[in-house]
Structure formats: structure tokens, C-alpha cells
Amino acid sequence: MKSLAELAAIREKMQSKVVIREGMGTTRVVVGMATCGIAAGARPVLNAFVEGVNANGLTDKVAITQTGCIGICQYEPVVEIYEDGKEKVTYVKLDAQKAAEIVEKHLKGGQVVEEYTIGAYKTV
């Protein structure tokens, strides 16, 4: 059974890491979580990013955050990825499976998954 004592142990382990984390350039994954996003399936997408980033050991490099309505409700679930020195990438119409693929290819491998970007979607 999980206990608060276990949480204290996690804290000890993390405190050493916090210092290192602050100085590094981080990648931000921003998930739209307004009514439109939630209704379109943003919750499993956000979960998939959290799980994928954890499983791939990217937690020091990638921060996952939430935002409100981005204004393109018809393309939800929408996720924006901001990287230092690079142009923002907007992914649209995501699901958990596509999110896992983006973690693998983009966040881990550094390759934008073009077919899920808003640019590719609009030209279909």
C-alpha cells in the first residue's frame, strides 16, 4: 500500500535533481484542455504524453503543461511543442497512439512527425 512515507523517500531522491533541472533548456509540450479539447479526447492524449515521457526517461528534458482553448476547436485534440531555438510545432486531431508516436519520434528522436501536424492536415 502506498504511504506518505514513500512520498518522503521520493522527495529525497528528487531534491538532488531539482538543481540540475533548472539550468537546462527544456522542451514544452502544451495540451489544449478546454471543453473542446476534453470533449474531443485530450485527456488520454495528455496521459499518453506523461506516460511516454516517463517511460523514455525524458522527464528532465520535457515539461508537459496544459492550456485553455487555443481557438481551433475543430482540430482538437491539439498539442503544441515548443523547443529552444526552433519553430513551434502544432499537432492536431491526436489520440493516445499518435501521442506515443510523437514521444518516440519527436521528443526522443528529434524528428517532427509531419503527417500529424496542422500543415499536413490542412492540405489533405
The rounded distance, in Å, linking the Cα atoms of 58 and 51 is 10
Stretch that binds other proteins, among 46-54, 82-90, 100-108, 112-120 (CB under 8 A): 46-54
The rounded distance, in Å, linking the Cα atoms of 12 and 5 is 11
Q: Among 118, 36, 39, 24, which residue's Cα sits nearest to residue 80?
A: 118
Residues 65-104 that bind other proteins (CB under 8 A): 65-66, 68-71, 73
The rounded distance, in Å, linking the Cα atoms of 80 and 93 is 12
Among 26, 27, 56, 59, binds other proteins (CB under 8 A): 59
Write down the least CB distance from residue 121 to other proteins, Å: 19
Using the rule CB under 8 A, is 111 a contact of other proteins? no
Looking at beta carbons only, is 65 or 120 nearer to other proteins? 65
3-class DSSP assignment, residue 36: helix
Size of the site for other proteins (CB under 8 A): 34
The rounded distance, in Å, linking the Cα atoms of 101 and 113 is 8
Among 27, 34, 108, 117, binds other proteins (CB under 8 A): 34
First to last CA, the chain: 50
Q: Which residues bind other proteins (CB under 8 A)?
A: 1-2, 4, 6-8, 10-11, 13-15, 18, 33-36, 38-39, 43-44, 46-47, 50, 53-54, 59, 64-66, 68-71, 73
